[in-house]
Structure 1
Amino acid sequence: MIANRRPLLAAGLALGMGMGGFVDGILFHQILQFHNMLSARVPNTDYIGAKVNMVWDGVFHAGVWTITAIGIALLWRAARRPGADLSGRLLVGGLLIGWGLFNLVEGVIDHHLLQLHHVYEPAGLSVWDGLFLLWGAAMLGGGGWLCRRPKGNSG
């Protein structure tokens, strides 16, 4: 019997996107304070700017929380589904693909197209934005590699 890989892969993708968003928001927005959601458009230099950015960071976190909750529900369903592939390799591969997709989409749309913020706001569009995209592409490739079926396995 061929194990169904889709349920676990879908859960991994959603969880990876959510976790990537949380790392971005917690590490870059809150701990390092490199940028906020709208900091290239609304500078975080006064009370009003700080409040606007705080609200939009909250909207961002609510979104990634929702994606993570969906991932948990998908993981629960995958674990209960007969015939589902539940390999750790597939789950980690899906997580990396999801996180890589988050970085690529967020980097291209928010950093480059909409110019909402940059990885390191004082520098503006910089090598940091390129490294963010490169890291996303590396996670996507590594996740894809992990999700490949082992040679000789038709299932």
Structure 2
Amino acid sequence: MAEQLHRGPLISAGLLIGAGLGGFVDGIVLHQILQWHNMLSAKMPPDNLVAAKVNMYWDGMFHAAVWVMTAIGLTVLWRVGHRRDVPWSGRTFFGALLLGWGLFNVIEGIIDHNLLGLHHVYEYTDNKLPWDLAFLALGVLQLVAGWAFVRAGRSDTAVRGEYSRGNTQ
């Protein structure tokens, strides 16, 4: 009788890691390299030293939170790697990473950009809406692509130990 396969744990690991890495890309690229916004730049523009330090602190708190999320995801992935009932599927895992990153973009975009108005994707323009909508659209595209990869991974059935069958030790 075939062993029942459980894809959920691999998807959970990918979601957490994807959301964490998406947060790192946002923080490193948009906050630090391009300097398009900071965590609180709409509420407290970093136009003086105190405001810049407050923004830097909250950017650091944001990075700490996505680091914890990534670390939890890696812990889940480590545990998944020891389970024989979880198919080891690159398509499923990659799809889950995209889903996590897309969820990060959509949730962060809706909450921080729209509901709370903490910052916008590109803070230093009069027309912020196109930038915020493009960020949300990217998140939706990531969700669609991630879902497609996860669905494609349903046909992957390799579990731990199948790769080494036929090897004589």
Deviates more, 1:123-132 or 1:45-54: 123-132
CA distance in 1, matches of 2:109, 2:82: 35
Q: What is the alpha-carbon distance in structure 2 between the residues aligned to residue 104 and residue 64 of structure 1?
A: 15
Letter in 2 for 1:76: W
Matched, 1:29 2:24: no
What is the correspondence of 1:4-153 to structure 2 with a 5 Å cutoff?
Answer: 4-123=6-125, 125-149=128-152, 153=155
> Shift in Å at residue 126 of structure 1?
2.1
**Deviation sequence 1:103-126 (CA, Å, 0-9, x none):** 000000000000000000012532
* 1: CA distance, partners of 2:8 / 2:59: 32
TM-score by length of 1: 0.95
Looking at structure 1, the residues matched to 156 and 50 of structure 2 have their Cα atoms a distance apart, in angstroms, of: 59
Sequence identity, in percent?
Answer: 53
Is contact 2:92-2:152 (8 Å) kept?
Answer: no
CA distance in structure 2 between the partners assigned to 1:104 and 1:30 by the alignment: 21
What is the letter of the counterpart of residue 54 of structure 1? Answer: M
CA RMSD across the alignment:
1.6
Q: 1:99 aligns to what SS in structure 2?
A: helix
Task: For residue 2 of structure 1, report the CA deviation from its aligned partner.
Answer: 3.3
For residue 80 of structure 1, give the secondary structure of its aligned residue in structure 2: coil
Distance 1:87 1:154, change over 3 A: closer
Deviation at 1:81, TM superposition (A): 0.9
Q: In the aligned structure 2, how far is the partner of 1:47 from the partner of 1:97? A: 38
Paired residue for 2:160? Answer: none
Distance apart, 1:82 and its partner CA: 1.6
CA distance in 1, matches of 2:71, 2:29: 20
Residues matched between the structures, number:
154
* Structure 2 stretches lacking a partner, 5+ long: 158-169
Moved more, 79-88 or 142-151: 142-151
Larger Rg: 2
Q: 1:80 to 1:132 in 2, by over 3 A?
A: same
Closer, same or farther: CA 50–150 of 1 in aligned 2, 3 Å: closer
